[in-house]
Structure 1
Amino acid sequence: MKFIRRLLEKRADVYDTYWDRYAAAQDVAGVSVTPGSAEGISAVYAAVSAISESVASLPLEIYRRTEDGRDKARSHPLYKLLHTEPNANQTALEFREMLQRHVLLRGNAFAEIRWNAAGRAESLKALHPDSVTVLVTPDDSLVYDVTDRHGHRRRLLSSEVLHLRYHSDDGLMGRSPIQVARDTVGLALAERTHGERMFAQGTKLSGVIQTQPGTTKTQAGEIRESWAAGQAGVGNHGKTAVLPAGAEFKTVSMTLEDAEWIEARRMSVEEVARLFRVPPVLIGDLREANYSNAVELGRYFVTHTLRRHLVMWEQAIGRTLINDPATFYAEHNVEGLLRGDSLKRAQFYQRAIEEGWMMRSEVRRLENLPTIEGIDDEEAPPRPTE
């Protein structure tokens, strides 16, 4: 059946891929903005790491719907792939972190699904987005041409690829924050390059040397070379400059203070945090951090940053990997990230037990404590009167 579908889909047209649009784009602020260069900005790297590491480290469970609610389906074939080992070369954390980084930096992530004879997924192999060409068939479905390291190309059907998209504007291919906000990322790269060159040239001593009339071109060149050898570079910073008789140094470019370079760098961190919807404190900007808002910042991160990515994973798994979505589904456990401090958790559990909507055994399970037989049979202590 798949062979017949491949024959029918030979007429698929190449889609305007994400990487093609990147390559066709012009440089911004005099620098080239690519996933690689953008990741060189510490704020971008920190934001991508904060999201991808959090998503990959959360428990991803497979559940079975029951009449009373749900049960963990640890015997389901997908449980091992998503929770422990998706393929022979990666752990589940490494696999999910890799795909999440692809989503954030390139807008799309791909993994090849290998099915066994029984129609169950037996492995998931991550594919680098640069090696995948997306094609659209006459009936508007997608197929994927994958090029390996030796240049060999093979075609995969949509049922053979787990495709994660971010902020798509056409329903077919995703877009990353770096692609959408190239100007913002380009400005941050230009500011970093500006600082590197300023320090390499001696930070402040940047200008022109005005010589006496009659100075020949050869003499002017010797003066310039002598100045560069004695003043350029961080190693020469602070040395006293000596000019030929009658020569005068005049500053013609802005110093770091004049350009407010440090403040501009701080603004770039805020802009990157805004692009990825990450609280600045999580990417190293501690100006607004304090002990009183640490818990709330964590909740904000889960609710407004991670939730969209977690649902993306869960729905893509249900659509592509689960044969019986009416019975089974995937869901992340975010309870660990939403916990408050010990005192608040104790007060929450105490009230839940006293009001009867949570059992002691459930509390111990949430706190990863061993089971105690008969603990739910004990009478709950009376609630103090106010």
Structure 2
Amino acid sequence: MKWPWTKTEQRAAPDPSWSALLNPGAVTTSGAYVDTRSAEGISTVFAAVSLIAGTVASLPLHVYRRLPNGDREKATDYPLSDVLAARPNAAQTSFEWREQATANCVLSGNAYSEIIWDGAGNVTALKPLPPRNVTIVKLPNDRHRYDVTDSAGRVRSLLSEEVLHLRDRSDDGLVGKSRITVAREMLGGVLAAQEHGNRTFANGARLSGVLQTPHQMTDESIKRLAESWQSQFSGAANAGRTAILENGLEYAQLAMSNEDAQWLQSRQFSVEEVARIFNIPPVLLGDLRHANFSNSVEMMRHFVTVTLRPWLSRIEQALERALLGPIARQRYFIEFSAEGLLRGDSTNRASFYQSGIASGWLLPSEARRLENLPTVEGIDNANATTSA
């Protein structure tokens, strides 16, 4: 028995009917191969994942202690507090670890970290595990374990008490669904359109016009002209070069074809499609076609309340489930400080503090503490006297 809330368990043989190889990738109808790595090659997907993961990682994360009178205080003396807020492992900062875990969950549907416990039952480190190297195996006693494959191909098994598992929406309550897998066909179309455009620029001697001449040309002269034009004006490296025409050749400008227009429209539409997958306002992903000052503010509010809040709740509850035992959960809880989103906006931050102080639910000393400013003795009494 490992004190205080984990126990030794005999690891049974794997159940061959249960194996979760996460997001192995597949060839889509468009012919493009889609997995988490290729999907991040789409700029909108990369921007969406970076936005969610970076924002989550930037928010302050605290362990709080419940007080007998119903209040709470930061449990800075609790060992887990330092692991989450400062140093989760020897190689990463708290920001880096949380950004990696959130990005893995957003892309793969699952994020894993090995929990290192000390002899007293305290968490001393959280070591990230690549989702592609983890297989979940159901045990005969209706529990499960995690089989982890290292770079040398060796497999080691970890019990559920030894793994922090952060999962996206799940069908079975155990393995999270990858949004990349769910939207694989759509993303395959985006990758195919992207490849089509790249190959056109790389291989096509294709200008927005045609060459015409009133003179008759032989097969040899046509071949020579084609080779010359191909060598001088094909590819992105030769874009913008000035053509010198001879033998009565004239250049006729052509308008954008319907095919080109549809290709550009499909690229713009792909931004909206990816935004739907990750539930992010397109304005925040660089699509400013319908943006103005008023709706941009509302879209940011939408991002915080509709996009970000579910991720924060998911992470908070996963941390409490894995890192706090039944006894510890009665006294401690883990919570993000969403007020950290105001740090980049001094006007809204000042308005937030002013409203709290005027309404009586925030003290000036607390506002100074949130701003990492030194303590001013008697500032709360002085403010109360002024208000009176």
Alignment TM-score, normalising by the size of structure 2: 0.83
* Distance in 2, Cα, partners of 1:273 & 1:357: 37
Which residue is equivalent to 1:247? none
Which residue is equivalent to 2:50? 49
Q: Contact conserved, 2:20 with 2:135, CA < 8 A, in 1?
A: no
Q: Kindly tell me: are residues 43 and 354 of structure 1, through their superposed partners in 2, closer, same or farther at Cα, counting changes over 3 Å?
A: closer
* Distance in 1, Cα, partners of 2:271 & 2:192: 13
Decide which of 312, 322, 326 is 2:330's aligned counterpart. 326
Which residue is equivalent to 1:82? 84
Q: Kindly tell me: are residues 115 and 235 of structure 1, through their superposed partners in 2, closer, same or farther at Cα, counting changes over 3 Å?
A: closer
Q: Contact conserved, 2:138 with 2:144, CA < 8 A, in 1?
A: yes
* Distance in 1, Cα, partners of 2:158 & 2:281: 39
Mapping of 1:1-386 within 5 angstroms?
A: 5-8=9-12, 14-20=18-24, 22=25, 25-68=26-69, 69-200=71-202, 201-204=204-207, 228-229=230-231, 231-237=233-239, 255=257, 258-323=260-325, 324-338=328-342, 342=346, 345-378=349-382, 379-382=384-387
Q: Contact conserved, 1:33 with 1:185, CA < 8 A, in 2?
A: yes
Amino acid at match of 2:282: P
Q: Contact conserved, 1:354 with 1:381, CA < 8 A, in 2?
A: no
* Distance in 2, Cα, partners of 1:58 & 1:147: 32
Q: Kindly tell me: are residues 83 and 343 of structure 1, through their superposed partners in 2, closer, same or farther at Cα, counting changes over 3 Å?
A: closer
SS at match of 1:18: coil
Give the deviation of 1:231 after TM superposition.
Answer: 4.8
* Distance in 1, Cα, partners of 2:227 & 2:347: 68
* Distance in 2, Cα, partners of 1:139 & 1:9: 12
* Distance in 2, Cα, partners of 1:223 & 1:53: 53
Q: Contact conserved, 2:283 with 2:296, CA < 8 A, in 1?
A: no
Amino acid at match of 1:67: P
* Distance in 2, Cα, partners of 1:137 & 1:299: 44
Instruction: Name the count of aligned residue pairs.
Output: 375
Amino acid at match of 1:286: L
Amino acid at match of 2:60: P
SS at match of 1:155: strand
Q: Contact conserved, 2:21 with 2:132, CA < 8 A, in 1?
A: no
Q: Contact conserved, 1:299 with 1:338, CA < 8 A, in 2?
A: no
Cα deviations by residue, 1:180-225 (Å, 9 ceiling, x for unpaired): 1112211221221121122121344799xxxx9x98xx99998876
Give the deviation of 1:325 after TM superposition.
Answer: 0.9
Give the deviation of 1:60 after TM superposition.
Answer: 0.8
- Structure 1's unaligned 5+ residue stretches are 245-253
Q: Contact conserved, 1:113 with 1:121, CA < 8 A, in 2?
A: yes
Q: Contact conserved, 2:12 with 2:140, CA < 8 A, in 1?
A: no
Amino acid at match of 1:174: G
* Distance in 2, Cα, partners of 1:99 & 1:343: 32
Alignment TM-score, normalising by the size of structure 1: 0.83
Q: Kindly tell me: are residues 257 and 136 of structure 1, through their superposed partners in 2, closer, same or farther at Cα, counting changes over 3 Å?
A: same
Give the deviation of 1:366 after TM superposition.
Answer: 3.4
Give the deviation of 1:62 after TM superposition.
Answer: 0.4
Q: Kindly tell me: are residues 199 and 255 of structure 1, through their superposed partners in 2, closer, same or farther at Cα, counting changes over 3 Å?
A: farther
* Distance in 2, Cα, partners of 1:163 & 1:174: 10
SS at match of 1:358: coil
Q: Kindly tell me: are residues 105 and 227 of structure 1, through their superposed partners in 2, closer, same or farther at Cα, counting changes over 3 Å?
A: same
* Distance in 1, Cα, partners of 2:259 & 2:15: 60
Amino acid at match of 1:61: H
SS at match of 1:6: coil
* Distance in 1, Cα, partners of 2:230 & 2:352: 68
Give the deviation of 1:339 after TM superposition.
Answer: 6.9
Give the deviation of 1:380 after TM superposition.
Answer: 4.3
Give the deviation of 1:346 after TM superposition.
Answer: 4.5
* Distance in 1, Cα, partners of 2:186 & 2:375: 52
* Distance in 1, Cα, partners of 2:155 & 2:318: 25
Q: Contact conserved, 1:302 with 1:338, CA < 8 A, in 2?
A: no
Amino acid at match of 1:150: A
* Distance in 2, Cα, partners of 1:342 & 1:371: 20
* Distance in 1, Cα, partners of 2:12 & 2:179: 36
Amino acid at match of 1:177: R
Q: Kindly tell me: are residues 115 and 41 of structure 1, through their superposed partners in 2, closer, same or farther at Cα, counting changes over 3 Å?
A: same
SS at match of 1:260: helix
Q: Contact conserved, 1:55 with 1:97, CA < 8 A, in 2?
A: yes
RMSD: 3.7
Give the deviation of 1:242 after TM superposition.
Answer: 8.4
Q: Kindly tell me: are residues 197 and 167 of structure 1, through their superposed partners in 2, closer, same or farther at Cα, counting changes over 3 Å?
A: same
* Distance in 2, Cα, partners of 1:12 & 1:311: 34
